[in-house]
């Protein structure tokens, strides 16, 4: 995703001299080509995320479209108030880019686990929040953010689901993508963990004859309420999957939307990080398994929910499901 | 540079009277912090800043950022007196439904470049504006008003490093060095001295002035950059609460609001000057 982002941004920046990329001293080797081709549109502010975001705001207020870049929580949590007060409140064209969503940098330890960023960033008013799941979404999201006014957050992952685009498909911020059609239950996901979801979809279909709908939500804000409400009413069950704490991210968002619209799915479960910080380290793959958000965990969650399904015409009350 | 015919001494007196009325009427704090920089604001808005009240977003205007946003009443008063918005609006300050928040806000208030209130934000944003000006070959200057206590914030020092590294000699930081922060004197809280040496060591041109002497302030703002290739800091030695004898040099009047007899006495002193 990182390379796709930089390659796409590079093409955009060649056409628009007002696009600037600022890094806080991270991205070793990855900017060489960009920097060589666009030296005036690149700035390394050093290890200073607060200043990076403030400088970006100042430039944006003078007409630039500024991408701030760092890894994990550094471009978000470390300078959260600059994003809130300076960039977002002023509607500044600052596009915050974090490389390493979730456990992308799993072995580097807790400091590098970006597992609360979606909840925190989506809570800030007037910030667009985008979390692509595949290379195609990364490319299209990068293009779209240049044309999206105001402050945006782009969360990029180390893992990805390849190219999930359909022929002729048009990417739209705020529009979820129904990647698989199915009636038994819906898996709603965001980010690179889409690859685990798609693998789980295949297994559920082949080994268990369960046809899930798969909805990929690349935009958490704005959010495609309609697609989620359709999933709730048409498939009766939703499992959300995110490499993020279960509080406040995608799962929380889906629950909020369904309840507020009076359309709770009869079956519901959030897959994500539970029970505190991830103190164990390891690869992204290892940590997904360890913290129950891998392909296996998704398959098991769906199987358990489906086994608890009651007839569709029974009570519409929300079924409380405990999977632990 | 657009030199106006405004008598900055009169302007400063008007600013203080408006600030007193606004903070007392609204029941807000920070009158001491507003009074200590009133002369700086009077010189900037009455004399040194290249601005046009009819065109608040004029592309070539000088930018002014109040990073010590808690003293916003003084900037609101300056903008109103210069005609950016109605003077009548000032008495809505800090009241229900007003856009004139206790900490300076750009929303609904033409002429305010940046909303602040959390300390340590303005200099980075100003650095970005100054960087953009250089990239765009623009001649405007960027002034950022800081408080002394605000210099405790590490983010300022990130911006100080950055702007010196990039030779932003169109950037001017002004420190309202009244030597009192919210709970105690600066020297008893986190000492800043040797203050000017710190800026100098970070690559800035330093000018120390009496922050209540208009001629010194005008001279400092007329010679930007003070040294080619370096951002300039004007360390303005000031007196917190300047203009009202019982407010001067006290910690108390950082937060206290003048009511009743105190208000009357303060107004008498300001009007007599």
**Residue of B106, B126, B130 lying closest to A90 (CB–CB):** B106
Cα A235 to Cα A131, A271, B106, B175, distances in angstroms: 24, 18, 48, 63
Structural domain boundaries enclosing A224: 177-307
What does the pLDDT look like over B159-214, one tens digit per residue?
Answer: 999 999 999 999 999 999 999 999 999 999 999 999 999 999 999 999 999 999 99
Q: How far is B127 from chain A (nearest CA, A)?
A: 6
Q: What is the pLDDT of residue A195?
A: 97
B266 touches A at CB < 8 Å: no
- Residues 6 or more apart whose Cβ sits within 8 Å of residue B264: none
Q: Assess whether pLDDT exceeds 90 at residue A320.
A: no
Chain B residues with CB under 8 Å of A61 CB are 113-114, 125, 128-129
Rounded to a whole number of angstroms, the CA Rg of chain B reads 17
- Is A196 found in the same domain as A145? no
Per annotation, catalytic residue among A11, A36, A37, A49: A49
Lowest model confidence (mean pLDDT) among A11-20, A91-100, A263-272, B1-10: B1-10
Residues A150 and A188 in one domain: no
Does residue A131 share a domain with residue A94?
yes
SS3 content of chain A, % helix, strand, coil (to 5): 40, 20, 40
Is residue A317 pLDDT above 60, yes or no? no
Contacts of B118 in chain A (CB under 8 A): 81, 85
Question: Of B116, B133, B162, which has the smallest distance from its Cβ to A55's Cβ?
Answer: B162
Rounded Cα–Cα distance for residues A231 and A236 (Å): 7
Per-residue model confidence as pLDDT tens digits over B135-153? 999 999 999 999 999 999 9
pLDDT band at residue A316, thresholds of 50, 70 and 90?
A: very low
Rounded Cα distance between A310 and B174, Å, is: 70
Total domains present in chain A: 2
Q: What is the dihedral of CA B177, B178, B183, B187, to 10 degrees?
A: 70
- Tell me, yes or no, if B120 comes closer than 8 A to chain A by beta carbon: yes
* Residues A276 and A181 both lie in one domain: yes
Q: Which CATH superfamily is domain B8-272 in?
A: Thiamin diphosphate (ThDP)-binding fold, Pyr/PP domains (3.40.50.970)
CB contact under 8 A, A55 and B117: no
Domain assignments of chain B as residue spans, ordered by start? 8-272
Spatial neighbors of A128 by CB under 8 A, at least 6 apart, are A145, A148, A150, A151, A152, A153, A173, A219, A221, A222
Interface test with A, best of B64, B113, B125 (most A CBs within 10 A): B125
Question: Is A54 touching B (CB cutoff 8 A)?
Answer: yes
Cβ contact, residue pair A64, B132, below 8 Å: yes
Q: Give the sign of the dihedral formed by CA B41, CA B138, CA A91, CA B128.
A: negative
Q: Are residues A143 and A189 in the same domain?
A: no
Cβ contacts (< 8 Å) between B132 and chain A: which residues? 58-59, 62-64
**Predicted local confidence at residue B5, as pLDDT:** 83
User: Residue A314: what pLDDT?
Assistant: 45
Provide the CATH number for the domain around residue A73. 3.40.50.970
Nearest CA in chain A to B164: A45
Domain CATH code at residue A187: 3.40.50.920
**Mean local confidence (pLDDT), A136-151:** 98
Does residue A81 surpass a pLDDT of 90? Answer: yes
Does the distance separating the beta carbons of B115 and A90 come in below 8 Å?
Answer: yes
B158: phi then psi, degrees, rounded to nearest 5? -65, -45
CA angle B132, A73, A292 (to 5 degrees): 150
Does A49 qualify as catalytic in the annotation? Answer: yes
Please name which of B164, B155, B138, B137 lies closest in space to residue B233, comparing C-alpha atoms.
B164
Q: Would the CB atoms of A55 and B154 count as touching at under 8 Å?
A: no
Residue range B33-44: mean pLDDT, rounded: 98
- Cβ(A237)–Cβ(A265) below 8 Å: yes
Report d(CA A10, CA B4) in Å as an integer.
47
Same domain, A151 and A185: no
Interval A256-285 mean pLDDT: 96
Q: What is the pLDDT of residue A240?
A: 98
pLDDT per residue over A234-260, tens digit each? 999 999 999 999 999 999 999 999 999
Closest-CA distance, B222 to chain A, in angstroms, reads: 24
Looking at the structure, tell me whether residues A201 and A297 fall in a common domain. yes
* Confidence band for A318, pLDDT divided at 50, 70 and 90: very low
Report yes or no: A60 at the B interface, CB cutoff 8 Å: yes
Q: Do A187 and A217 belong together in one domain?
A: yes
Please give the average per-residue pLDDT across B25-38, as a whole number. Answer: 94
On whether residue A312 sits in a domain, the answer given is no
Nearest chain B CA: its distance from A63 CA (Å) = 9
Helix A295-307 vs helix A194-208: crossing angle, to nearest 10 = 50
> Considering only CB atoms, which chain A residues are within 8 Å of B121?
54, 81-82, 85-86
B203 in contact with A, Cβ within 8 Å: no
Separation of alpha carbons A201 and A223, rounded Å? 23
Tokens coding A53: 């975001």
In chain B, helix, strand, coil percent, each to 5? 45, 10, 45
Task: Please tell me which residue of chain A has the smallest CA distance to B59.
Answer: A62
Contacts of A60 in chain B (CB under 8 A): 128
What whole-number distance in Å separates Cα of residue B215 and Cα of residue A259? 65
Structure tokens at B124: 């980075």
Chain A: residue whose CA lies nearest to B64 = A58
CA distance B125 to A76: 17
- CA–CA separation, B241 and B238 (whole Å): 9
Residue B3: per-residue pLDDT: 52
Cβ of B1 under 8 Å from any chain A Cβ? Answer: no
User: From the list A51, A58, A63, which residue is nearest B155 (CB)?
Assistant: A51
To the nearest whole Å, the CA of A50 is away from the closest chain B CA by 6
Question: Are A282 and A138 in a shared domain?
Answer: no
pLDDT in the model for residue A310: 53
pLDDT for A34-70, tens place per residue?
999 999 999 999 999 999 999 999 999 999 999 999 9
Distance from CA of B75 to the nearest CA of A (A): 18
Q: Cα–Cα distance between B269 and A219 in angstroms, integer?
A: 59
Token output for B208: 């120390």
Does residue A76 sit in the same domain as residue A131? Answer: yes
Closest partner CB to B124 (pick from A58, A64, A90): A58
- Determine the residue among B59, B107, B116, B128 to mutate to test chain A binding: the one whose Cβ has the most chain A Cβ atoms within 10 Å: B128
Residue A171 lies in a domain: no
- Do A182 and A84 fall within a single domain? no
> Given B128, B135, B154, which is nearest A54 (Cβ)?
B128
Distance between CA atoms of residues A153 and A232, nearest Å: 27
Helices (H), A178-275: 194-208, 225-235, 250-260
Nearest-angstrom CA–CA distance, A68 and A88? 14
pLDDT bin (cut points 50, 70, 90) of residue A28 is confident
Give pLDDT tens digits for A181-224.
999 999 999 999 999 999 999 999 999 999 999 999 999 999 99
Among the partner-chain residues B115, B120, B136, the one whose CB lies closest to the CB of A89 is B115
| C-beta of residue A267 within 8 angstroms of C-beta of residue A238 | yes
Please determine, for residue B9, whether its predicted confidence score (pLDDT) is greater than 90.
Answer: yes
Sequence-separated (6 or more) residues with CB below 8 Å from residue B267 = B17, B20, B21
Instruction: Mark whether A184 and A292 lie in a shared domain.
Output: yes
Distance CA A204, CA A178 (A): 17
């Amino acid at each position: 995703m990182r390379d796709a982002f930089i390659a796409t941004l590079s093409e955009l920046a060649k056409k628009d001299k007002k696009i600037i990329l600022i890094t806080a001293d991270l991205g070793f080797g990855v900017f060489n080509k960009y920097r060589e081709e666009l030296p005036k549109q690149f700035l390394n502010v050093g290890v200073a995320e607060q200043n990076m975001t403030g400088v970006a705001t100042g430039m944006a207020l003078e007409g630039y479209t500024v991408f701030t870049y760092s890894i994990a929580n550094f471009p978000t949590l470390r300078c959260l108030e600059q994003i809130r007060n300076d960039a977002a409140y002023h509607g500044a064209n600052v596009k915050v880019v974090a490389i390493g969503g979730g456990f992308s940098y799993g072995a580097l330890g807790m400091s590098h686990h970006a597992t609360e960023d979606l909840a925190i960033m989506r809570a800030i008013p007037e910030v667009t929040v985008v979390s692509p799941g595949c290379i195609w979404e990364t490319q299209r999201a990068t293009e779209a953010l240049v044309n999206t006014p105001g402050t945006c957050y782009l969360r990029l992952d180390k893992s990805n689901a390849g190219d999930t685009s359909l022929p002729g498909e048009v990417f739209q911020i705020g529009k979820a993508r129904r990647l698989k059609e199915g009636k038994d239950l819906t898996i709603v996901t965001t980010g690179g963990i889409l690859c685990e979801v798609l693998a789980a979809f295949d297994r559920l279909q082949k080994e268990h004859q369960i046809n899930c709908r798969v909805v990929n939500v690349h935009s958490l804000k704005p959010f495609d309420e309609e697609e989620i409400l359709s999933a709730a009413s048409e498939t009766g069950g939703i499992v959300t999957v995110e490499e993020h704490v279960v509080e406040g991210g995608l799962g929380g968002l889906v629950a909020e939307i369904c309840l507020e619209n009076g359309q709770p799915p009869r079956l519901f479960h959030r897959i994500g990080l539970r029970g505190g910080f991830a103190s164990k380290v390891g690869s992204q793959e290892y940590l997904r398994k360890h913290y129950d958000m891998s392909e296996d965990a998704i398959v098991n969650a769906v199987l358990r929910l489906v086994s608890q399904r009651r007839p569709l015409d029974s009570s519409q009350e929300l079924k409380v499901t405990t999977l632990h | 540079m657009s030199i106006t015919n405004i008598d900055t001494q009169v302007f400063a007196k008007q600013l203080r009277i408006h600030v007193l009325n606004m903070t007392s009427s609204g029941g807000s704090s920070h009158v001491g912090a507003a009074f200590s920089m009133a002369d700086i604001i009077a010189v900037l808005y009455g004399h040194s800043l290249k601005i046009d009240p009819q065109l608040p977003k004029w592309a070539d205007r000088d930018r002014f950022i109040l990073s010590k946003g808690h003293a916003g009443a003084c900037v609101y008063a300056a903008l109103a007196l210069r005609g950016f918005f109605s003077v009548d609006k000032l008495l809505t300050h800090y009241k229900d439904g007003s856009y004139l928040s206790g900490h300076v806000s750009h929303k609904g208030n033409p002429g305010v470049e940046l909303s602040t209130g959390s300390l340590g934000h303005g200099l980075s944003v100003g650095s970005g504006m100054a960087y953009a000006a250089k990239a765009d070959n623009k001649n405007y200057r960027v002034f950022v008003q800081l408080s002394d206590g605000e210099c405790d914030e590490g983010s300022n020092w990130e911006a100080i490093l950055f702007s010196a590294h990039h030779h932003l000699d169109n950037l001017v930081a002004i420190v309202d060095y009244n030597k009192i922060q919210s709970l105690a004197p600066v020297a008893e809280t986190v000492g800043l001295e040797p203050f000017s040496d710190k800026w100098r060591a970070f690559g800035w041109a330093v000018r120390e002035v009496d922050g209540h002497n208009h001629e010194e302030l005008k001279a400092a703002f007329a010679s930007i950059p003070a040294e080619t290739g370096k951002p300039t800091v004007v360390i303005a030695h000031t007196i917190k609460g300047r203009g009202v004898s019982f407010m001067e040099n006290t910690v108390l009047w950082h937060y206290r609001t003048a009511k009743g007899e105190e208000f009357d006495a303060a107004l008498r002193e300001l009007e007599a000057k």
